[in-house]
Amino acid sequence: MLRSFRSVFQSNQMTMSAIFLVLLVSMVIFLVPSGRVNTPDTVVARVYGRDITLRDLLERESELSQRLGRQASQDAMRPFLQSQALRDLMDQKLMEELAARHHVVVTDEEVAVRMRAFLQQYPILLDAQGRLKPAAELERIFRQTGFNPASQERALREDLIRTKLIQQASLLVPVNAPWLDLENQIRNGKVGFDQVLLPVDASTVADPGDGTLESFYKAGGARFLMGPRRVIQVAAVDRASLGKALDVDDAALQAAYAARKNDYVELKARHILFKATTDAEVKAATQKALALRAKLVKGEDFAKAAEQYSEDPTAKGNGGELGWFHYDQMVQPFSQAAAALKVGEISQPVRTQYGIHLILLEGRKDKTFDEVKDQLKSSIQDERFEAKAMERLDQVRKRANGGDLTAAARSAGCQVILSQPFTNSADATSQGLPELAQLAGEAFSLKVGQVSKPEKAGDRYVLFRVQEELPAGIPPFKEIRPQVLAAWKLDQARAQAMTKAQQILKGGDLKALGGTFTTQAPGPISALKDLGALPAIQKALLDTPVGQITPPAWSPDGQIWAAKISSREAPPALTFETRQDLIQAIQGDEARKLLTAELQYLDERGRARGGLRSLWGQFGGIYVNKAALQAMLQR
């Protein structure tokens, strides 16, 4: 067969070459990003061949946003929402991949059964016989309440997959008698004790010099291994560099006060709401409001009318009272109408996105110019600082034209800072750049050579360019000397503190150790959560006799821990049923650990195979379309 193919290929070289060329071009077109983003079907990530589209991501963002409720700035929350939504969807796809590898299947009927059971918990969805209402009626209720059944079905499917994976993995966990006895003591026995937690202070340990630190560094090996690190050029503008450009005279303050007077007004009001969305509903609601207003103007009690007529659920029980509020705390049409009233006056019908309102103004507080002068001055200076700093940095960006920022920044009077190499972490630091932790994530989202947009960072406005990326590895000693020194100091302080604690506790006085002293009422070791999960502390609590002090150990947060046992109660003897329950609990806990480890492995392995629009991402890796994600944030 191979000889036949070879002879055909040799006799038709031109034709075969053309075919291969077409195939090659097709692969390149398929694998290389097309640049077309922001369509609902744009693939923003691919996890082992499973696509996550822009539509999926936007739906998940919306769900997260609803959970968080009203935020001060939705724009400021967008990067967090996008990151969390993408993480959730990728975790879901990883779970599906793991299920496929373990031949775990969840059927539509299983999901439907769970969905019916979930819906039947809510009386509003049931008819008089306790059965679910017809589909059309359910859909109407879902629309009114904002419930998304598709989202709930996805969550139930994911939960079923996870449950089946845990059940499957549980069968692989053998539980012997010693393990069962130990877990019975930890979960069902009771121990009471006094404890001390003593923090370790490394600040008093002196710097030993480069010789000692270099030896420590060389012996540390992988301890100082770091992931990819980046270096950024930063152009910064602070207040001092703008000098008198931020000064504000009294005339400007008076003009600003007049323009922003509503910002310094506090109102107290009641309202009655008639819900309306369509034009027909608005017309009908307005007629109702006018008829009711005529009665209210003649003396009918506004609070009682709100209780009787208002369609705002919060009006029931409080007579439509809104209490004191600032102008910007209500939607603009409502605030404008309320601010225009005199105390005791009732508004004409006011339309907002919620419907038609009648407003009774019950109180008003206006702050004078002198009361807000300092606050207003600070606000104007902040606005001027932002405008002028952003203008300067925008000039730097244009002059640099994607290249080195140094010359452009200096010509614009900006500071220029070159960062030390840093990892993508919340504790990233660099001398002269206290804002680095805030910038690190964004710096790693850009490509090498790309320039960020101007933004506020700490007390300055900055613009940065990704200068270079250093590969993962152990950095040179001089580059990470501060980290090596901190690690050495901590090791020395811990060793000294532990030796001292052991000597003190030989005297039999727990309080002599110092630190924070507390009493723990008798209870299971498992109830101690993180503290009780540490093997050294478990062993100390189980093995130390009543009235004796345990050996010192390390707490989860790095403090020295020691305890004096005050009481102990053995666990009840296991029956057949409790033995089986305990075995299942142990197996379930271990299965969840196995599941977490497998998912983490898939995630790390997949991200190492991002590829060219991820050839691996089509079949065996993880591809993230950073261009599409960045475009989403810039909308």
Report the pLDDT averaged over residues 513-525.
Answer: 96
Report the pLDDT averaged over residues 482-488.
Answer: 94
Confidence of residue 61 (pLDDT cuts 50, 70, 90): confident
Mean pLDDT of the chain, nearest integer: 87
pLDDT of 443 > 50? The answer is yes
Which pLDDT value is given to residue 151?
A: 87
- More reliable by pLDDT, 230 or 250: 230
Do 44 and 629 meet the contact criterion of CB atoms below 8 Å apart?
Answer: yes
Tokens (6 digits) for 507: 């005297």
Confidence of residue 35 (pLDDT cuts 50, 70, 90): very low
**% helix / strand / coil in the chain, to the nearest 5?**
55, 15, 25
132: burial class by Cβ within 10 Å (0-12, 13-18, 19+)?
A: middle
Which pLDDT value is given to residue 488?
A: 96
Model confidence, pTM? 0.60
Do 309 and 355 meet the contact criterion of CB atoms below 8 Å apart?
Answer: no
Report the pLDDT averaged over residues 161-175.
Answer: 94
Report the pLDDT averaged over residues 98-125.
Answer: 93
Q: What is the pLDDT of residues 228-245, one digit of tens each?
A: 999 999 999 999 888 888
Confidence of residue 635 (pLDDT cuts 50, 70, 90): low
Report the pLDDT averaged over residues 52-72.
Answer: 78
pLDDT of 80 > 70? The answer is yes
Do 283 and 277 meet the contact criterion of CB atoms below 8 Å apart?
Answer: no
Which pLDDT value is given to residue 621?
A: 83
The segment with the largest mean pLDDT, out of 246-260, 399-413, 435-449, 484-498, is 484-498
Confidence of residue 263 (pLDDT cuts 50, 70, 90): confident
Tokens (6 digits) for 356: 């038609």
Q: What is the pLDDT of residues 350-398, one digit of tens each?
A: 999 999 999 999 999 888 888 888 888 888 888 899 999 999 999 999 9
- More reliable by pLDDT, 523 or 10: 523
- Measured CA to CA in angstroms, residue 624 lies from 426, 444, 614, 617 at distances of 22, 13, 8, 9
524: burial class by Cβ within 10 Å (0-12, 13-18, 19+)?
A: middle
Which pLDDT value is given to residue 148?
A: 86
The three-class DSSP label of residue 455 is: strand
Lowest mean pLDDT across 188-202, 245-259, 436-450: 245-259
Which pLDDT value is given to residue 619?
A: 59
Which pLDDT value is given to residue 7?
A: 43
Share of the chain above pLDDT 70, in %: 90
The segment with the largest mean pLDDT, out of 7-11, 98-102, 223-227, is 98-102
**Whole-angstrom distance, CA of residue 635 vs CA of residue 619:** 31
**Whole-angstrom distance, CA of residue 334 vs CA of residue 365:** 17
* CB count in 10 Å sphere of residue 117: 10
pLDDT of 9 > 50? The answer is no
Which pLDDT value is given to residue 23?
A: 41
Strand order in the sheet with 43-47: 50-53, 43-47, 622-624
**Whole-angstrom distance, CA of residue 155 vs CA of residue 92:** 9
Which pLDDT value is given to residue 605?
A: 87
* Residues sharing a CB contact under 8 Å with residue 510, sequence separation 6 or more, in sequence order: 194, 195, 196, 517, 549, 562, 563, 564
- The residue type of 627 is A
The three-class DSSP label of residue 336 is: helix
Report the pLDDT averaged over residues 414-438.
Answer: 90
Q: What is the pLDDT of residues 522-577, one digit of tens each?
A: 999 999 989 999 999 999 999 999 999 999 999 999 999 999 999 999 999 999 99
pLDDT of 627 > 70? The answer is yes
pLDDT of 114 > 60? The answer is yes
pLDDT of 21 > 90? The answer is no
Report the pLDDT averaged over residues 277-289.
Answer: 93
Q: What is the pLDDT of residues 303-360, one digit of tens each?
A: 999 999 999 877 777 899 999 998 888 888 999 999 999 999 999 999 999 999 999 9
Q: What is the pLDDT of residues 574-601, one digit of tens each?
A: 999 999 999 999 999 999 999 999 999 9
